[in-house]
Structure 1
């Protein structure tokens, strides 16, 4: 397993002769990050991305799940380069806009972030050492304000035109640590598989817990909505009843007043008193209903 000197802020360099060496180094780098709960960003060619995925699957790692939860992020090296290269050189503002912003998103989501990049290798193989070193400089400048670890992969064949070795020397100086062949050959595949199994078991438990929480939250929301409906319906029914009682109250009061007026103008006191008594009883019933609504 690849051991980081400082996993949150390191700049690693891996020089390789064979793709099998690169695949082993990068998958070590990926597994270490994912097992630690970090976000892992891969910026590589399509061929290498497929090789990394194939080796992870061989080790039993569920890459689809890591991609789905955005812990593992895959970017095409050539397509990403095209977003910030201007006239054969990396543009700082465009680099910060695309790479810096993407890093910020991952830093906000995860406790730590690590990235593997071979855009520099693409530039070096394209016989553009000036752009290569400029891009390494932008990565280092980015690390001054953000915590992340970075692994850069270079094929030794990319330096065939570097006769004096000056570019290779500058590339080496722009990194904190160089991964040796011993680091690669001494990695234990069986241990990797065991750690991956443990990690994926913990991930399954976490996913089950999240799913259970979502189910509980949905049930609580349904209960809340039902209560709101019941309360709303009760309020509507009460408002309707109050309107009806208010109407009955007005009618009863009007009847009493009419009966009082009759008492003033007629000698048939018995009829008027009966009407008043009837209206008074109606008012008493209305009053009782009103009290029950309080």
Structure 2
């Protein structure tokens, strides 16, 4: 399944983007490789395409901050596995303890490192995750207050959900954050009445429109008690990056 870019968003090629920013194409390549500037990769040649609003936001941020942006790490450690930014990973668990295995250290380490973190889950799951983080780190209230930690119950429309993530990351970027983590406990989809087909369509859209566009590591965790075997298999297929690593590391009993 191939999704087309949002028809309401103008996409510029690298030559047009360089002309708009009045910089060289080499600078654009360097900034996108470093995660400073968002871009999309289209076609078999993975050619860069830029949204005009991303370029304008980058130009405003560059003008406001003349000093070079701080360097960010190139990867995130999850259970000892180094995951590169731009990866979209699927994890599976089968009990309440397993739900916390990745979610707690993933969000906790991101907050401590000054990264923007998005936690998308039912309120019960969010409260459980943040309570466990709060037992060892007292910075959660401040992270919420300053917009570093963004929470959501989810939105039962894939396009609207992707737009929410996009807007959240762009706002946090303008606030000075340079890298991001997203943790989605996917049972939120069922609580909001989303069908399996709509859930998978959302995962495909997210993978295409969001995951590789920003300096972002995305982890979607599935409770196998809530999803059928075929649904779990299809979810794994939507997260091809998972197979770049040892799959057994992402299974929690």
Q: TM-score, normalised by structure 1?
A: 0.51
**Partners of 2:103 and 2:167 in 1: CA distance:** 23
Task: Give the equivalent residue in structure 1 for 2:52.
Answer: none
- Number of equivalenced pairs: 169
User: Structure 1, residues 68-100: CA drift from partner, whole Å, max 9, x if none?
Assistant: 2221122223xxx14xx2xxxx3x3x3443222
With over 3 angstroms needed to count, the CA separation of the structure-2 counterparts of 1:184 and 1:56, relative to structure 1, is farther
Contact 1:25 1:184 in 2 (8 A): no
With over 3 angstroms needed to count, the CA separation of the structure-2 counterparts of 1:183 and 1:152, relative to structure 1, is closer
2:226 is the counterpart of 1:158: yes
Contact 1:39 1:112 in 2 (8 A): yes
SS at match of 2:83: coil
Contact 1:38 1:111 in 2 (8 A): yes
Alignment partner of 1:140 out of 199, 207, 224: 207
Task: Give the equivalent residue in structure 1 for 2:165.
Answer: 99
**Partners of 2:225 and 2:251 in 1: CA distance:** 19
Alignment partner of 2:144 out of 58, 61, 67: 67
Alignment partner of 1:174 out of 238, 243, 248: 238
RMSD: 2.7
SS at match of 2:89: strand
After TM superposition, give the deviation of residue 107 of structure 1 in Å: 3.1
> In proportion to residue count, which structure has more helix?
1
Task: Give the equivalent residue in structure 1 for 2:124.
Answer: 47
SS at match of 1:5: strand
Contact 1:14 1:153 in 2 (8 A): yes
Contact 1:12 1:177 in 2 (8 A): yes
SS at match of 1:159: coil
2:105 is the counterpart of 1:37: no
Alignment partner of 1:129 out of 196, 212, 218: 196
**Partners of 1:104 and 1:47 in 2: CA distance:** 27
With over 3 angstroms needed to count, the CA separation of the structure-2 counterparts of 1:60 and 1:122, relative to structure 1, is closer
With over 3 angstroms needed to count, the CA separation of the structure-2 counterparts of 1:127 and 1:182, relative to structure 1, is same
After TM superposition, give the deviation of residue 65 of structure 1 in Å: 1.8
After TM superposition, give the deviation of residue 39 of structure 1 in Å: 0.6
Contact 1:117 1:152 in 2 (8 A): yes
Q: Give the alignment of 1:237-256 within 5 angstroms.
A: none
- Rg bigger for which structure? 1
Contact 2:116 2:179 in 1 (8 A): yes
**Partners of 1:41 and 1:173 in 2: CA distance:** 23
User: Structure 1, residues 30-89: CA drift from partner, whole Å, max 9, x if none?
Assistant: 122123321111111111111011101212332112222221122223xxx14xx2xxxx
Runs of 4+ in 1 over 6 A off after TM superposition: 178-181
Q: TM-score, normalised by structure 2?
A: 0.58
**Partners of 1:140 and 1:107 in 2: CA distance:** 20
After TM superposition, give the deviation of residue 15 of structure 1 in Å: 0.8
